[in-house]
């Protein structure tokens, strides 16, 4: 069966015409798909023989709402979606003064095994198709009756470990006749799969690359992020410099502050040295406590001391506000509760 919502328009058109249907039908079908229909029967201006052909050869990816949690503090909404094959994924919708932003998943689980991460703890099931990433946005928009303006690929999974589907998603979601969310409104977060950063740079997308750094040296980073054994920090930073040179886009570094692990003054000094001369911004996030990890967030005084050192050295950094703290808004936590019951 063909995953119809993962097709580019010209691919859809080819299938329609190759099977003897008039070309203009492709545009009609495309428009229905953009509206978020979940069955071919809803395509009211399509003749019965074409509906039968579509139903017999294609399927529409859906993200059905299994659970929905709304934060009492800041209206952040977290969804647990069920996919066509019964797998669960999470998405979070955040409301900012400039509009709505959604954090989408790119895989069911993750292979990377970062020790602080709820997704990493539940193992890996499979990668998502482009249509399944799109379906999260459409389902949230339809449920909340809003238009989403920003996307962050920071949910479950490692986007660069699902490279081809993520590229397809990026092209589809930014298409003017699709959801039309421009690359400047998209952030892709990676744990640092170095060869794929080089590959992504070649596309010259205007998106923001966010690199989950979380430590300033190999010894500290390898303790929490196994990917660092494969692609050590020097290689990662070199790839980031290349990314900036090729795309002109400032890199954003994520740094989850963990009490007693990566939050010393020495860590801040090393971090400042590491990022010297690189056009970047550091987002400091007090780590979210995930059951079974034993990690605690850094104390407020530590966060402030850390940021002061960065500022003094001219490294732009901010401590990020955490949204949805009452609804386990950091991705992976809700699925883990449902599937693993932890």
Tell the smallest beta-carbon distance from residue 33 to ligand SAH (Å): 27
Of residues 274 through 313, those in contact with ligand SAH by CB under 6 A are 285, 287-288, 290
The DSSP H or E segment spanning 66 is: strand 64-70
Of residues 74 through 133, those in contact with ligand SF4 by CB under 6 A are 110, 112-114, 117, 119-120
How does 241-267 read in b/e, with b if 16+ C-beta sit within 10 Å?
eebbeebebebbbbbbbbeebbbbeeb
Q: From CA 182, how far away is CA 187, in angstroms rounded?
A: 11
Tell the smallest beta-carbon distance from residue 238 to ligand SF4 (Å): 20
Is 158 a residue that touches ligand SF4 (CB under 6 A)? yes
For ligand SAH, which residue of 268, 330, 334, 335 counts as binding (CB under 6 A)? 330
339 to each of 63, 81, 90, 225, 328, how far by Cα in Å? Answer: 17, 12, 12, 24, 15
Measured N-to-C along each axis, helices 24-35 and 9-18 cross at an angle, to the nearest 10 degrees, of 130
User: Per CB under 6 A, which region of 8-16, 40-48, 189-197, 232-240 contacts ligand SAH?
Assistant: 189-197
Tell the smallest beta-carbon distance from residue 158 to ligand SF4 (Å): 4
**With contacts defined by CB under 6 A, how many residues of the chain interact with ligand SAH?**
15
The β-bridge relationship of strands 99-103 and 148-153 is parallel
For ligand SAH, which residue of 116, 205, 231, 253 counts as binding (CB under 6 A)? 116
Is 328 a residue that touches ligand SF4 (CB under 6 A)? no
Tell the smallest beta-carbon distance from residue 213 to ligand SAH (Å): 9
Q: Which is nearer to ligand SF4, 109 or 324 (CB)?
A: 109
Is residue 331 part of the annotated active site? The answer reads yes
Is 137 a residue that touches ligand SAH (CB under 6 A)? no
Residues in the chain: 342
For ligand SAH, which residue of 88, 254, 284, 329 counts as binding (CB under 6 A)? 254
Q: Which residues pair with 189 in a beta bridge?
A: 210
The β-bridge relationship of strands 148-153 and 124-127 is unpaired
Nearest of 287, 298, 271 to residue 322 by alpha carbon: 287
Tell the smallest beta-carbon distance from residue 71 to ligand SAH (Å): 17
Is residue 78 within 8 A of residue 329, CB to CB? The reply is yes
Provide the CA 123 distance to its chain's centre, in angstroms: 17
Is 190 a residue that touches ligand SAH (CB under 6 A)? yes
Is 15 a residue that touches ligand SF4 (CB under 6 A)? no
Is 327 a residue that touches ligand SAH (CB under 6 A)? no
Token digits for 241? 């410099």
Is 151 a residue that touches ligand SAH (CB under 6 A)? no
Is 189 a residue that touches ligand SAH (CB under 6 A)? yes
Is 212 a residue that touches ligand SAH (CB under 6 A)? yes
Is residue 87 part of the annotated active site? The answer reads no
3 CB contacts (<8 Å, ≥6 apart)? 58, 59, 61, 129, 131
The DSSP H or E segment spanning 335 is: helix 333-335
Please identify every residue annotated as catalytic. Answer: 90, 331
Give the footprint of ligand SF4 on this chain (CB under 6 A): 110, 112-114, 117, 119-120, 157-158, 191, 212
């Amino acid at each position: 069966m063909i995953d119809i919502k993962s097709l580019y328009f010209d691919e859809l058109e080819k299938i329609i015409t190759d099977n003897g249907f008039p070309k203009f039908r492709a545009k009609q079908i495309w428009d229905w798909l953009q509206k978020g229909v979940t069955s071919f029967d809803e395509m009211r201006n399509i003749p019965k023989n074409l509906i039968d052909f579509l139903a017999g050869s294609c399927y529409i990816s859906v993200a059905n709402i299994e659970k929905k949690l709304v934060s009492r503090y800041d209206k952040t909404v977290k969804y647990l979606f069920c996919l066509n094959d019964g797998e669960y994924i999470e998405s979070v919708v955040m409301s900012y003064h400039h509009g709505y932003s959604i954090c989408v998943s790119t895989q069911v689980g993750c292979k990377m095994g970062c020790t602080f991460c709820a997704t990493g703890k539940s193992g890996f099931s499979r990668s998502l198709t482009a249509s399944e990433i799109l379906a999260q946005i459409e389902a949230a928009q339809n449920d909340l009756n809003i238009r989403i303006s920003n996307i962050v690929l920071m949910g479950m999974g490692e986007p660069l470990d699902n490279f081809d589907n993520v590229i397809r998603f990026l092209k589809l979601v930014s298409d003017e006749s699709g959801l039309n969310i421009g690359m400047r409104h998209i952030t892709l977060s990676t744990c640092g799969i170095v060869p794929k950063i080089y590959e992504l740079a070649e596309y010259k997308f205007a998106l923001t690359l966010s690199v989950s750094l979380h430590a300033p040296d190999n010894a500290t980073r390898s303790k929490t992020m196994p990917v660092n054994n494969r692609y050590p920090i020097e290689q990662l930073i070199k790839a980031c410099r290349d990314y900036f040179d090729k795309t002109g886009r400032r890199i954003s570094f994520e740094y989850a502050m963990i009490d007693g692990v990566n939050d010393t003054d020495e860590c801040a000094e090393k971090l400042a040295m590491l990022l010297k001369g690189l056009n970047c911004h550091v987002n400091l996030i007090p780590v979210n406590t995930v059951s079974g990890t034993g990690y605690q967030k850094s104390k407020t005084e530590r966060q402030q001391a850390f940021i002061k050192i960065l500022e003094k050295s001219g490294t732009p950094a901010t401590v990020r506000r955490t949204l949805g703290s009452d609804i386990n808004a950091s991705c992976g936590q809700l699925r883990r509760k449902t599937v693993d019951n932890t």
